[in-house]
Amino acid sequence: MVTKRQSIATKINVILVGISFVILIFSATIIYLSSQISSATDKVVNYDLPEALNSLAMLEELGDMNSNLLEYLLGEEEEQQEYFGNYEEFIRFRDLIPKNIKENGEVDKVMRLVEGHKKQAVSQVFEVYHPEQERNAARKINNLLINVGKPLEELLDKMKEDEIADVGSSNNPLDVINDDLPGVQYYLELVDEAGDMLADLDRFVLDDINAKQSFFNNALQFESYLIKLKPLEQKPQEVIYLNEIERLFLELKEGGKEIFDHYQTHNKALATKAIDNLEHQSFNVAEDILDTLSSAARQKVQLSMTDLSIISRNISIVLAISALFIIGLITSVIFYARKTIFTPLAQVTTAIDKLRRGERNIELGNYTRQDELTDILASLQDFQIELSELDQLRASEQKIQTELLTERDNATQSYKQLKETQSKLVATEKMASLGTLVAGVAHEINTPLGVSVTMASTLSANLKQFLTKVKTGVLSRSILEKFETDSQQSVNLLESSLQDAAELIHSFKQVAVDQTSSKRREFNLLETINEIVATLHHKIKRTGIKLSVEGPENIMMDSFPGPLGQVITNLFNNAVLHGFEGKAEGEIHIRFSVIAKREVKILFADNGNGVEKENIKKLFDPFYTTKLGKGGSGLGLNIVHSIISDLMGGSIHVESRIGTIFEIKLPLIAPEKKEDNNE
């Protein structure tokens, strides 16, 4: 009898249909409750909440507008623009309040009050009082006090003191009575009137209404005393001083008149009174209305949220009942699936696991059901046969792998030997740099030492001649003076040459210390590059190649000066060896500058032969050189790249158009990932 095939997929579809039916009922219930939530939230979101939030925002903007007016009176002119900005925000919040609420009439009333508030603020405050005019008046008064008032008082005091000193110097009593004593009196009066005029200016800024009249009355008194004083002071110097007093007085008088004409002190009082009226009228009324509106809107929001809470509780009950039903349904589905699907599949899985571990003679069960499990069983029997054949293939493969591992070990050994060779070549490059440094020291220091030796010999010969003349008694004054002059010149030149040699030795010593180690320290970039360049000049001294350094004097770095010197040296050697090959002259420029707060850019450029486009990408590769077998190791630029990228935490880029340009970017403070004390 043929058993009817029962597909596992069919069983799963039946289960899924049952679950879908349950989900449909659950969804319908949720949709109904969601419609109730949507209705309640629509009222809150579209009406109650916008009314509550925006009425509060309008109340806040209204308070800010009133504060803007008060701060404007304190001299903050930008508060005028803030006032209009807050007014626009007030209008924006009004537009966000729904138009069809029953409190719309109250909102319109507030709008009319605020609009009137704005118009009065413009006409009675912003157009009446200007803080800049007050500050200008204060500045002008201060300038008059410093540049006019003070010099005028000092000059009057001086003239008064001179006049007092002259009292009694004449033997004629009439001169004392008719000239000296009136002069002293008039100077005292002028000092008093000048002080009163300056005080009147200060009183005017403080809103003293009588200050202006007092200023001009004191000016009139000053002029009268000055007229009386002029006939008494006829000496040329006194006439000059009186003319200067008159000039300063006229400047003070004109400055005061200009202040009185352009600044009205009572405007601030008017503006203050207007702000007080606005606060007690339209501001308080509008504030009360908005406060009432926001309170009522908050109450409506609370009522709506209560309705939402009730609906939410109903949803929780429905979800709890649905969850219990679904848990029961899922438990039944799991039990059925375990019995009819998962248990047979576990037996099949066990068989597959045994096959995977290498067991090839296992007994597979025989299922009588006509479903996918029967097909899996047949496939496993075929798979068992194929695995036996595969085992034979693996034995052959293992033999091949053993041979490959042997070859890999040989290749690894060759690679280690290659790395050791590379390390030795790098060390050779460092020694070559040190040799260049020593050659530079010997060449540069030879000149000042040669001059020193010559001057010492000359000084010794002159001294012997001088001592001979002293002993023979033929010494004369001219011979002594000549010996003194020659000796002084020789000593000066000797000191200068020895000083040059000492500075060169100090510079070369610092470069040598840096280049024989990779110690980290703080250094001045310009000084360090100049010290490095000094060790290289001898290579181009008798050629047409020029080397220049350009950069700020105040760039300090916390990095590795020794490796930096090796970078500059290698780039220099590369330029001389390759860039200017076949050329009698050329230029090398080293320029640097700070391009960010913590980064410096160094440009090393030459106008030499350049690099072929296809070779640009190979420049930093190890052992790449066009001078192989001719003195080039191919490691110079590779070492440069390693130092900049790995040790100093920077980057290097090369371009070749007219000559070659190496662009180096380094952090002012090297990263801490490298050991600072590596030798």
Residue 507 lies in a domain: no
pLDDT of residue 653: 93
Regarding whether 206 and 172 lie in a shared domain, the answer is yes
Rounded Cα distance, 421 and 418, in Å: 5
pLDDT of residue 677: 45
Model-level pTM? 0.33
Q: Is 177 exposed, middle or buried (0-12, 13-18, 19+ CB in 10 A)?
A: exposed
Joined together, the tokens standing for residue 406 give 């042997």
Regarding whether 259 and 229 lie in a shared domain, the answer is yes
If one compares 542 and 418, the residue with the highest pLDDT of the two is: 542
Range of the domain at 187: 151-264
545 membership: H or E segment, kind and range: strand 544-550
For residues 361-372, give the mean pLDDT. 64
Regarding whether 274 and 237 lie in a shared domain, the answer is no
pLDDT of residue 399: 73
Joined together, the tokens standing for residue 461 give 């010969």
- Report residue 376: phi and psi, to 5°: -65, -40
Rounded Cα distance, 169 and 177, in Å: 12
Residue where one domain finishes, among candidates 298, 322, 346:
322
H-only helix segments in 97-210: 104-121, 131-143, 150-166, 173-175, 181-205
Q: How many CB atoms lie within 10 A of CB 548?
A: 10
- Report residue 299: phi and psi, to 5°: -65, -40
Regarding whether 277 and 239 lie in a shared domain, the answer is no
Q: Which residue has the tokens 């003319």?
A: 243
Determine contact, residues 669/459, Cβ cutoff 8 Å.
Answer: no
Residue where one domain finishes, among candidates 322, 340, 359:
322
Helix (H, G, I), strand (E, B) or coil at 188: helix
Regarding whether 108 and 208 lie in a shared domain, the answer is no
Regarding whether 84 and 112 lie in a shared domain, the answer is yes
Helix (H, G, I), strand (E, B) or coil at 361: coil
- Residues in contact with 349: Cβ distance below 8 Å, sequence separation at least 6, in sequence order: none
pLDDT of residue 190: 83
Q: Tell me which amino acid residue 616 is.
A: I
Regarding whether 293 and 311 lie in a shared domain, the answer is yes
For the chain, how many helices (H) and strands (E)?
19, 7
Radius of gyration in angstroms for the set of CA atoms belonging to the chain, rounded to a whole number: 51
Residue 571 Cα distances to 39, 421, 660, 664, angstroms: 78, 23, 10, 11
Regarding whether 36 and 160 lie in a shared domain, the answer is no
Q: Which of 371, 335, 451 is nearest to 9 (CA)?
A: 371
- Residues in contact with 645: Cβ distance below 8 Å, sequence separation at least 6, in sequence order: 651, 652
Regarding whether 228 and 95 lie in a shared domain, the answer is no
Q: Which residue has the tokens 């790249």?
A: 641
pLDDT of residue 412: 74
Residue 559 lies in a domain: yes
Residue 105 lies in a domain: yes
Domain count, the chain: 3
Determine contact, residues 429/573, Cβ cutoff 8 Å.
Answer: no
For 307-336, the three-class secondary structure string (H helix, E strand, C coil) is HHHHHHHHHHHHHHHHHHHHHHHHHHHHHH
- Report residue 3: phi and psi, to 5°: -80, 135
pLDDT tens by residue, 167-183: 655 555 665 566 667 77
Residue where one domain finishes, among candidates 215, 242, 264:
264
Rounded Cα distance, 538 and 366, in Å: 95
pLDDT of residue 655: 92
For residues 617-644, give the mean pLDDT. 73
Residue 562 lies in a domain: yes
Residue 509 Cα distances to 39, 521, 611, angstroms: 88, 15, 35
pLDDT of 632 strictly over 60: no
Task: Tell me the average pLDDT of the chain.
Answer: 76
pLDDT of 529 strictly over 80: yes
pLDDT of 640 strictly over 80: yes
DSSP letters of 36-58? HHHHHHHHIIIIIHHHHHHHHHH
Q: Which residue has the tokens 């290097």?
A: 652
Residue 403 lies in a domain: no
Q: Which of 192, 153, 174 is nearest to 232 (CA)?
A: 174
Regarding whether 296 and 248 lie in a shared domain, the answer is no
- Give the alpha-carbon dihedral of 429, 432, 437, 443, to 10 degrees: -150
Residue 307 lies in a domain: yes
- Residues in contact with 343: Cβ distance below 8 Å, sequence separation at least 6, in sequence order: none
Rounded Cα distance, 242 and 227, in Å: 10
pLDDT of 77 strictly over 60: yes
pLDDT tens by residue, 291-316: 787 777 777 777 777 877 787 777 78
Rounded Cα distance, 243 and 248, in Å: 9
pLDDT of residue 679: 42
Rounded Cα distance, 12 and 33, in Å: 32
Burial code (b: 16+ CB inside 10 Å, e: under 16) for 559-594 equals: bbbbbbbbbbbbbbbbbbbbbbeeeeebbbbbebee
Helix (H, G, I), strand (E, B) or coil at 248: helix
Regarding whether 163 and 58 lie in a shared domain, the answer is no
pLDDT of 438 strictly over 70: no
Q: If pLDDT is split at 50, 70 and 90, which confidence band does 370 have?
A: low
pLDDT of 678 strictly over 50: no
- Report residue 212: phi and psi, to 5°: -60, -50
For residues 186-206, give the mean pLDDT. 80
Indicate the length of the chain as a whole number: 679
Q: Residue 282 sits in a domain of what CATH number? A: 1.20.120
pLDDT of residue 470: 75
Residue 142 lies in a domain: no
Q: Residue 577 sits in a domain of what CATH number? A: 3.30.565.10
Regarding whether 625 and 526 lie in a shared domain, the answer is yes
- Residues in contact with 531: Cβ distance below 8 Å, sequence separation at least 6, in sequence order: 507, 508, 510, 511
pLDDT of 562 strictly over 80: yes
Residue 498 lies in a domain: no
